[in-house]
Amino acid sequence: MGKTYKIAVIGGDGTGPEVMVEGVKVVKVAAEKFGFQCEFQDYDFGGERYKRTGEVLPDGAVEEMKKYDAIYLGAIGHPDVAPGILEKGILLALRFALDQYINLRPVKLFPGVDTPLKNKGPEHIDFVVVRENTEGLYTGTGGVLKKGTPDEVAIQTSVNTRKGVERCIRYAFNVARKRKKHNTLGLCGKTNVLTYAFNLWERAFHEIGQKDYPDIKREYYHVDATCMWMVKNPEWFDVIVTDNMFGDIITDLGAMIQGGMGIAAGGNINPEGVSMFEPIGGSAPKYTGMGVINPLACICAGQMMLETLGEEKAGAAIERAVMKATKEKIKNLGAGRMGYSTSQVGDLITQFVADGV
- 312-328 and 16-34 are packed helices; what angle lies between their axes, rounded to 10 degrees? 120
CB closer to ligand IPM out of 221 and 277: 277
- Helix intervals (H) in the chain: 16-34, 47-53, 61-65, 85-86, 93-97, 162-179, 197-212, 223-232, 244-257, 296-309, 312-328, 342-355
**How far apart, in whole angstroms, are the C-alpha atoms of residue 30 and residue 329?**
20
CB closer to ligand IPM out of 87 and 235: 87
Question: Is 297 strand, coil or helix?
Answer: helix
CB closer to ligand IPM out of 61 and 317: 61
Helix (H) or strand (E) holding 334: none
Q: Which stretch binds ligand IPM (CB under 6 A): 87-95, 176-184, 197-205, 333-341?
A: 87-95
Q: Smallest distance from the beta carbon of 83 to Mn ion, in angstroms?
A: 13
Q: Within positions 222 to 261, which residues make up the interface with Mn ion, using CB under 5 A?
A: 248
Q: Within positions 271 to 290, which residues make up the interface with ligand IPM, using CB under 6 A?
A: 280
Q: Smallest distance from the beta carbon of 237 to ligand IPM, in angstroms?
A: 19
How far CA 8 is from CA of 71, 191, 323, in Å, comes to 5, 40, 27
Of 91, 188, 284, 293, which one interacts with ligand IPM (CB under 6 A)?
Answer: 91
Q: Which residues of 270-282 are buried (b: 16+ CB within 10 A; e: fewer)?
A: beeebbbbbbbbb
Sheet containing 126-132: which strands, arranged edge to edge?
Answer: 37-43, 4-12, 70-75, 275-279, 265-269, 102-108, 126-132, 239-242, 184-189, 217-222
Q: Smallest distance from the beta carbon of 282 to Mn ion, in angstroms?
A: 9
CB closer to ligand IPM out of 91 and 223: 91
Q: Smallest distance from the beta carbon of 212 to ligand IPM, in angstroms?
A: 29
- By CB under 6 A, residue 87 contacts ligand IPM: yes
- By CB under 6 A, residue 319 contacts ligand IPM: no
CB closer to ligand IPM out of 87 and 219: 87
Q: Within positions 231 to 250, which residues make up the interface with ligand IPM, using CB under 6 A?
A: 248
Within 10 angstroms of residue 294's Cβ, the number of other Cβ atoms is 30
Q: Smallest distance from the beta carbon of 252 to Mn ion, in angstroms?
A: 6
Using CB under 6 A as the binding criterion, the count of chain residues that bind ligand IPM stands at: 5
**Site residues (vs Mn ion, CB under 5 A):** 248
**Site residues (vs ligand IPM, CB under 6 A):** 87, 91-92, 248, 280
